[in-house]
Amino acid sequence: MDRFVIYLDIEHPLALLDRRKRNRHMSGVLRKSQILRDLSGCGCMPQSFIWLDGTHLEDLPLLAIVISGNTTDWEHYKASQLKQPFEVIRNGVVPILGLCGGHQLVGKAFGGAVAPMRKLRKGEVDPYPQYRPGFFKEKGFTEVKVGAGNPLFKGLRDSVVVSESHYCEIKRVPKTLEVIASNPDCRVQAVAHRDMPVYGVQFHPETFDEEHPDGKRILENFFDLAHSLT
């Protein structure tokens, strides 16, 4: 059987009750799954975290798991809903890459703490006032400093430009994770597990274009790593 990628959708069901929002979300999931399919050279199966069963993942011909972002605050997720995703991340059976909220989930799985970056300062413009007003956000293509020597950033400069869309960050980094990218607004832009091929990036590498190709290269590097390990 050919290997494939799981695109683990961690959006909370509460955010998908409205039909239009649900349709828009599913369209995005399918579009991103196609991007992962193209860049990995393998099939890609979207999978909601609600139905995730990690007990037999090692028996599947998996290349990797890519964990999506989310728009729902973590306080709305029950511990029982996150049990399986946490176990899958901690086991590191296959290479894992968390994107935005998925990156935060990686941090939480190993005991890290996630919270808003900060509140807006007086006079600061909110780039996305309809979402969590009053909080500072990174929105749009943003410069990030990356650590040398990590395979995730192979072939890239020490500063990349990637798409951001978040107001929370990993505030406390667990000892099992190493910070491998940062910028002045968000110290933990990317993490790597010290012993397993488990990564998280606070940004959205799946959002790229001809003028901003760094995210594409990061995904290609991740899949190259996955191919070399599986």
Closest CA to 199 of 99, 87, 61, 70: 99
Structure tokens, 197: 């091929």
Annotation marks residue 204 as catalytic: yes
Structure tokens, 113: 């703490």
| Helix (H/G/I), strand (E/B), else coil: 66 | strand
Question: Locate tokens 């749009």: which residue?
Answer: 140
- Selecting among 11, 164, 169, 206, the annotated active-site residue is 206
| Helix (H/G/I), strand (E/B), else coil: 150 | coil
- Beta-carbon contacts of 110 under 8 Å, excluding residues fewer than 6 positions away, are 89, 90, 174, 176, 177, 193
Annotation marks residue 220 as catalytic: no
Q: What count of Cα atoms within 13 Å lies in the side-chain half-sphere of residue 31?
A: 9
- Selecting among 100, 168, 169, 193, the annotated active-site residue is 100
Closest CA to 2 of 78, 69, 63, 90: 63
Annotation marks residue 100 as catalytic: yes
Q: Is the separation of the CB atoms in 99 and 205 below 8 Å?
A: yes
Cα separations in angstroms, 51 against 17, 113, 220: 17, 25, 28
Residues forming the active site: 100, 204, 206
